[in-house]
């Protein structure tokens, strides 16, 4: 009996000890879990603040562009006026010019492109046109038939069709250069329709300044009023082509080539190492390399070349993914060289913000995820996070609105845009463009990550149609 009582007492003691140990274990586990979640929350909070600061830095570019535009506009336009009034050489002394039109599965659009090219006002014996066709569908046969027709009419039109698409557009342009010797090369995408006086306008400054690498004209739009998507794109792109691009030129920042509607000096292309096919934005890559090599660039805001806009949100988003990935690839490729270069620190900082603009989508996605984690764990520092979020939002909204108003006002005063927008309409469209930007940002976040990691992908063309007006 005594032994049984002793065993029962011992079991109770052991049971109480086990319960105590379990309680201590639960307590220690709870403390460790709380500490771990606290570390996760604080880490998320700090990272969120960093993301918001980076978004504010990118939004600062808009405010900076508006300020620089207002500061340099008068002197910049005067310099452009003087550049466009420089005399051309005598007719028999005009230089030979090569027109390059890269195409890929464009169908009957090549006819319109060639019609515009052969209509350019330049001595026929010093004008050669290359149709650089990499088509993989029935467009290849259309290109052959169309070029043959123009050649029968006496035009110097050459068709170059490759059996592969190595380097995509950059590879096609390089193949065309290897078959030619003209000192000046004009590049047009298939959907752009230059006016007859394009060459006589844009070659004036190139002939007057031997250190100019290229002259970029302003891209305009054939179908801007087709629907809400194209109308919003007009607001976005007019802010870029009528405000940002001329401002970069006037302020001495690195000016990116837009891939079309421009004339390059062959010597500058060769000195910069030629077209490279290792990014999806070969135009951005070459223009940066040329200007890092000491060449200059000129933007002509008063010379416009109309082209087509994607007419659906899906095709526009596809285009944005390609552009943003190309920016990420170019940033990965060139930013180390830019920092090691002899460029002034101001231009280096601007290049970081310019090329780093592709990270906006990543920052938006990361901010949303981090904000959710922060709120769930109850660790946000509202006194810091909310002002930073409000600052970035206000900077972006006011900067976008200011650029939209500036571009609309400038083009209206220049007599370019006959259909002016009212203030309320501009505000409404600006809000819509911000929604489109965030949509494209979320859509292209994965593409930007792949670009930063150096993962290659194919070139996905933006669908185009053979029409002159929307």
Which residue numbers are catalytic? 134, 283
Q: Beta strand pairing status for 127-133 and 157-161? A: parallel
Output the six-digit token pair for 142. Answer: 């259309």
Which of helix, strand or coil describes residue 113? helix
Would you say 325 and 451 are in contact if contact means Cβ atoms under 8 Å apart?
A: yes
Print the SS3 string covering 206-252. HHHCCCEEEEEEEEEECCCCCCHHHHHHHHHHHHHHHHHHHHHHHCC
C-alpha gyration radius of the chain: 29
Q: Which residues contact 68 (CB under 8 A, 6 or more apart)?
A: 247, 250, 251
Residue at token pair 């149609």: 465
Tell me the C-alpha distance between 219 and 5, whole Å. 98
Give the DSSP H/E element, type plus range, for residue 399: helix 382-413
Output the DSSP codes for 273-299: T----SSS-HHHHHHHHHHHTT-EEEE
Q: How far apart are CA 396 and CA 63, in angstroms?
A: 8
CA 368 and chain centroid, separation: 23
To 10 degrees, the CA torsion angle through 57, 62, 68, 72? 150
| Cα–Cα distance measured from residue 354 to residue 458, given in angstroms and rounded to the nearest whole number | 24
Measured distance CA(57)–CA(42) in Å, rounded: 23
Residue of 440, 433, 396 whose CA lies nearest to 229: 433
Which of 47, 44, 49, 43 lies closest to 387, judged by CA? Answer: 49
Q: How far is residue 228's CA from residue 311's CA, in Å, rounded to a whole number?
A: 9
End-to-end CA distance of the chain: 103
State the burial class of residue 237 (Cβ atoms within 10 Å of its Cβ: 0-12, 13-18, 19+).
buried
382-413 and 423-453 are packed helices; what angle lies between their axes, rounded to 10 degrees? 120
H or E, element range at 28 = helix 2-84
């Amino acid at each position: 009996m005594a032994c049984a009582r002793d065993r029962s007492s011992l079991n109770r003691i052991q049971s109480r000890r086990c319960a105590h140990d379990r309680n201590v274990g639960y307590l220690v586990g709870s403390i460790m879990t709380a500490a771990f979640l606290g570390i996760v929350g604080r880490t998320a909070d700090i990272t969120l603040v960093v993301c918001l600061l980076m978004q504010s830095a990118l939004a600062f570019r808009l405010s900076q562009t508006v300020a620089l535009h207002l500061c340099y506009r008068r002197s910049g336009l005067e310099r452009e006026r003087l550049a466009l009034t420089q005399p051309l050489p005598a007719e028999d002394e005009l230089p030979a010019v090569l027109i390059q039109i890269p195409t890929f599965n464009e169908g009957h659009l090549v006819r319109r492109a060639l019609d515009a090219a052969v209509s350019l006002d330049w001595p026929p014996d010093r004008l050669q046109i290359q149709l650089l066709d990499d088509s993989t569908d029935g467009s290849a046969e259309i290109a052959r038939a169309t070029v043959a027709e123009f050649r029968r009419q006496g035009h110097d039109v050459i068709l170059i069709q490759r059996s592969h698409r190595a380097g995509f557009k950059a590879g096609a342009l390089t193949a065309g250069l290897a078959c030619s010797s003209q000192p000046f090369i004009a590049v047009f995408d298939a959907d752009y329709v230059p006016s007859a006086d394009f060459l006589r306008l844009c070659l004036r400054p190139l002939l007057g300044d031997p250190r100019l690498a290229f002259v970029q004209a302003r891209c305009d739009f054939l179908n801007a009023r087709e629907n809400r998507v194209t109308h919003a794109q007009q607001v976005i792109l007019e802010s870029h082509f009528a405000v940002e691009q001329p401002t970069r030129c006037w302020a001495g920042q690195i000016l990116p080539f837009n891939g079309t509607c421009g004339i390059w000096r062959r010597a500058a292309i060769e000195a910069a190492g030629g077209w490279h096919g290792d990014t999806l934005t070969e135009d951005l890559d070459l223009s940066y390399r040329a200007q890092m090599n000491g060449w200059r660039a000129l933007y002509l805001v008063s010379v416009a070349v109309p082209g087509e806009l994607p007419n659906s949100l899906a095709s526009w988003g596809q285009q944005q993914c390609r552009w943003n990935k190309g920016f990420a690839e170019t940033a990965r490729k060139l930013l180390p060289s830019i920092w090691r270069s002899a460029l002034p620190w101001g231009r280096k900082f601007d290049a970081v913000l310019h090329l780093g603009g592709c990270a906006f989508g990543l920052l938006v996605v990361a901010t949303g995820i981090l904000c959710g984690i922060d709120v769930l764990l109850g660790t946000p520092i509202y006194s810091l996070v909310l002002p930073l979020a409000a600052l970035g939002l206000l900077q972006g909204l006011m900067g976008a609105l200011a650029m939209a108003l500036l571009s609309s006002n400038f083009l209206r005063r220049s007599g370019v845009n006959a259909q002016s927008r009212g203030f309320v309409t501009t505000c409404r469209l600006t809000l819509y463009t911000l929604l489109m930007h965030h949509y494209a940002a979320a859509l292209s976040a994965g593409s930007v990550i792949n670009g930063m990691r150096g993962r290659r992908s194919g070139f996905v063309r933006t669908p185009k149609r053979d029409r002159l007006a929307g």
